[in-house]
Structure 1
Amino acid sequence: MTFLNGRVEVHGHRGARGLRPENTLPGFAHALALGVDAVELDVGLTADGVVVVHHDQALSPVTTTDTVPVTPGDPLFPYVGRDLRDLTLAQVRTVDAGVRRLRPGQDDDPFVLTQLPLPGTRPPTLAEVCGLLRVAGDVLPAVELKTDPGWPDDEITRFVAAVAEVLDTHGLTASARLLAFDWRVLTEARRLVPEAARVALVERTTLDPAWLAGLSPDDVTAAAVALDAGVLSPERHLVTPDLVRDAHGLGLPVTVWTVNVASEMARLIEYGVDAIVTDYPDRLRIVLASYGLPLPEPCTTVPLH
C-alpha cells in the first residue's frame, strides 16, 4: 500500500448520510463528532443568489418535504420538485430536510433504516456550514457544485464566483476542495479561486467530453492532469490498482466514493487510495484502525444541532 500523504483520509459523504439527515447542520456536526478529515457537501444557487446545501439541482422528494408556502397563495408552492435556481432562499427554507422518504415505487432504502430522523431540520446555506467548520478547526470543506453540460458558461461563472465569495468570507478558501462532474466548473475555479484545490469527479455516465470540458474520457487520469486538477475522484466501480498507480505516478491523489461496506473499504485501502468518501464514517474508522492507520480526531467543540 502506497499513499501519497502516508494515510487514508476519512470524508463524510453529505455529512454522515447513513446516520443523520444528509446535507444538514446536524449531519455535518455528527460527522465532525465522529472524526473526519473532510465533510463532503453539495451546493446550488437560489434565484436570489444564495449558495444553499442540497444534493440535487431540484428539491428532492426523498430528502425534503413541503410545509407551508413562504407567503399565502405563492404560485410556486409546492416547492419540492422545483429547481433551486427558480426558488428564493426564503422558499427553500420552508421545506423540512430532516426526514428521509422512499421514492415512489421503492420498497426499501438502507438509509431510511439507519438514519436518525430529525423532523424540522431546514436546508442550510453554505455560509452556515462554513461557520460550523471554522469551529471544528482542521476539517476540510469538500464542496461539490451541482451543474451539468446544459448550463450556459455564464451561469457556471456566476455559481463558482458565489461559492468562492462564501469561502473567502469565512477564511476557508485555502483549505477548501471544489468538486465537480462538469469539469467546466474546475476550469472556472482555477481562474477565479486558484487557492482552492480542484477535485475532478468522474462516474461511468460522465465519461464523455461534454462533461469533461471537452477532454477525452479514454484516460481520465491524464485528462485530470491536463485540466490541472489536484485530485481525481472516481466512483468506486471505476477504481483499479492500475488507475491508482497511474494517478500516483502523475502525483495525483485518488479519492474514491461512495464506499459503505467494510470489505470494500479494505480492498480500496490495499489499492492505495488516498481518501474514502463514506456515508458511515464510523465504519471506515474501524477499518482504518484495523490496518493501524492514523485516524482524524473527533471534534468536541462543535455543538450537536
Structure 2
Amino acid sequence: MIRTAELHGHRGARGLLPENTLPGFAHALDLGVDAVELDVGLSADGVVVLGHDQVLSPVTLADTAPAHPGDPAFPYVGKAVRDLTLAQLRTLDAGTRRTADAFAVTQRAAPGTRIPTLAEVCDLVAPSGAALAVELKTDPSWPDADVARFVAAVADVLRTAGLAARSRLLAFDWRVLTETPREFGRVALIERKTLAPGTRWLAGLPSRDPVASAAAAGATALSPEHAITTPGLVDDAHDAGLAVAVWTVNDPEDMARFVKYGADAIVTDYPDMAARALVPA
C-alpha cells in the first residue's frame, strides 16, 4: 500500500525511546519512517553533536563524571553546548527522561546512552535509505558569522557521509536557510512566536505572509506547528512550490486531518502510531 503522507520520526521516536539518540533513531528506522528528524548543535571544538537545547537540559541529560579530573567546567548540565568540548559532552547520560511528563510514561529508558555526533547518526541512517531532517539550533542573538560556520560544519558532515541528496536542513532562524547550499533541502520552520510582528527569526523578511517570505528565503519546504496549520496555509505553500511538513502531530485524528488538508509529511513522536494512521485501510 502507498503511504498517504511521509512519516518523519521526531527526534527519532521521542515518545518511545530517548530523544536524539542512536537507539531512538534505530527504532524509528525499524518502524519504517521516511525521514529521521533530529536537532544539532556545535561543540566548543567544532563537532556537530545531537541535542535539542542550546543549554544542556536536566530533563534529558544527567552528569556522570568530569571528562578529566578537576575539570572546572563540571558539572556540565546547565551549560551551553557551544562552551563544552566533545569529550565533555560524551560524559553525559542521555538515556533517561528525568521529568514526570507524558513522554516519561511512554518512553523506554536506555541508561548509559551517550550524546551522538551527527557523523554517527549518518553511519546509522545511510544503509536505510531514509532521509535526514536536520534542525540547526540557533536563535536571532547569534552573529551571522557563527550561523554560517555552523551551517558549513553540518553540510560538511552530510557531504562526507554521502547523504547530501537525502538531507534537508531545518531552522526557525531563517538565516540558516539563506546560508544552506542549494544541494540540500531547506525547510522553513514556523510557530506563533517566530511569526510575531517585529520578529527577528525570519532573516529580515516580513511575517505577514510566511509562505511568500519562506520562498524568498530560499526554502524548499514549509514546516508549520500543527496549531497554526490550516487548509489555506497548505494550499498557499503548494501554490508557491513548497512541500508542507506539519509538526508535532501525536493524535491519529489530527494526522488524518492534516493528510486531508494535503500535508506532504507528518512529524510525530510516535512513528508506530503514525505508521498505522498514514496508510489506507
After TM superposition, the score normalised by the length of structure 1 is 0.89
- Which residue identity is paired with 1:231? A
The answer to whether 1:255 aligns with 2:252 is no
The answer to whether 1:197 aligns with 2:185 is yes
The answer to whether 1:144 aligns with 2:135 is yes
User: Which of 80, 95, 107 is the aligned partner of 1:115?
Assistant: 107
- Which residue identity is paired with 1:8? A
Task: Quote the offset at 1:56 in angstroms.
Answer: 0.4
- Which residue identity is paired with 2:277? V
What is residue 56 of structure 2 aligned with on the other side?
A: 59
Q: How does 1:128-277 map to 2 (within 5 A)?
A: 128-136=120-128, 138-189=129-180, 193-208=181-196, 209-277=199-267
The answer to whether 1:34 aligns with 2:31 is yes
Task: Quote the offset at 1:37 in angstroms.
Answer: 0.4
Task: Quote the offset at 1:100 in angstroms.
Answer: 0.2
Greater mean deviation of Cα atoms: 206-215 or 21-30: 206-215
| Structure with higher RCO (Cα < 8 A, 6+ apart) | 1
In structure 2, C-alpha distance between the alignment counterparts of 1:254 and 1:134, rounded to whole Å: 24
Task: Quote the offset at 1:24 in angstroms.
Answer: 0.2
What is residue 11 of structure 2 aligned with on the other side?
A: 14
In structure 2, C-alpha distance between the alignment counterparts of 1:81 and 1:277, rounded to whole Å: 28
In structure 2, C-alpha distance between the alignment counterparts of 1:246 and 1:194, rounded to whole Å: 23
In structure 1, C-alpha distance between the alignment counterparts of 2:48 and 2:78, rounded to whole Å: 18
The residue matched to 1:217 in structure 2 has which SS? coil
The residue matched to 1:82 in structure 2 has which SS? coil
Task: Quote the offset at 1:6 in angstroms.
Answer: 8.5
The residue matched to 1:19 in structure 2 has which SS? coil
Overall identity of the aligned pairs, in %: 64
The residue matched to 1:174 in structure 2 has which SS? helix
The residue matched to 2:49 in structure 1 has which SS? strand
The answer to whether 1:84 aligns with 2:81 is yes
In structure 2, C-alpha distance between the alignment counterparts of 1:112 and 1:7, rounded to whole Å: 30
- Which residue identity is paired with 2:190? V
In structure 2, C-alpha distance between the alignment counterparts of 1:127 and 1:266, rounded to whole Å: 34
Q: Does the CA contact (< 8 Å) of 2:3 and 2:278 recur in 1?
A: no
What is residue 93 of structure 2 aligned with on the other side?
A: 96
In structure 2, C-alpha distance between the alignment counterparts of 1:244 and 1:219, rounded to whole Å: 13
What is residue 297 of structure 1 aligned with on the other side?
A: none
What is residue 116 of structure 2 aligned with on the other side?
A: 124
Q: Does the CA contact (< 8 Å) of 2:4 and 2:278 recur in 1?
A: no
Task: Quote the offset at 1:248 in angstroms.
Answer: 1.1
Q: Deviations over 1:135-168 (max 9, x none)?
A: 21x2001000000000001100110010011001
Task: Quote the offset at 1:205 in angstroms.
Answer: 0.8
Task: Quote the offset at 1:29 in angstroms.
Answer: 0.1
- Which residue identity is paired with 1:128? E
Q: Deviations over 1:8-46 (max 9, x none)?
A: 100000000000000000000000001000000000000
- Which residue identity is paired with 1:203? E
In structure 1, C-alpha distance between the alignment counterparts of 2:205 and 2:267, rounded to whole Å: 25
Unaligned 5+ runs, structure 2:
none
Task: Quote the offset at 1:7 in angstroms.
Answer: 3.8
In structure 2, C-alpha distance between the alignment counterparts of 1:263 and 1:174, rounded to whole Å: 32
In structure 1, C-alpha distance between the alignment counterparts of 2:218 and 2:171, rounded to whole Å: 13
- Which residue identity is paired with 2:182? P
What is residue 68 of structure 1 aligned with on the other side?
A: 65
- Which residue identity is paired with 2:185? A
- Which residue identity is paired with 2:132? P
Task: Quote the offset at 1:76 in angstroms.
Answer: 0.4
In structure 2, C-alpha distance between the alignment counterparts of 1:175 and 1:99, rounded to whole Å: 30
Unaligned 5+ runs, structure 1:
103-107, 293-305
The residue matched to 2:208 in structure 1 has which SS? helix
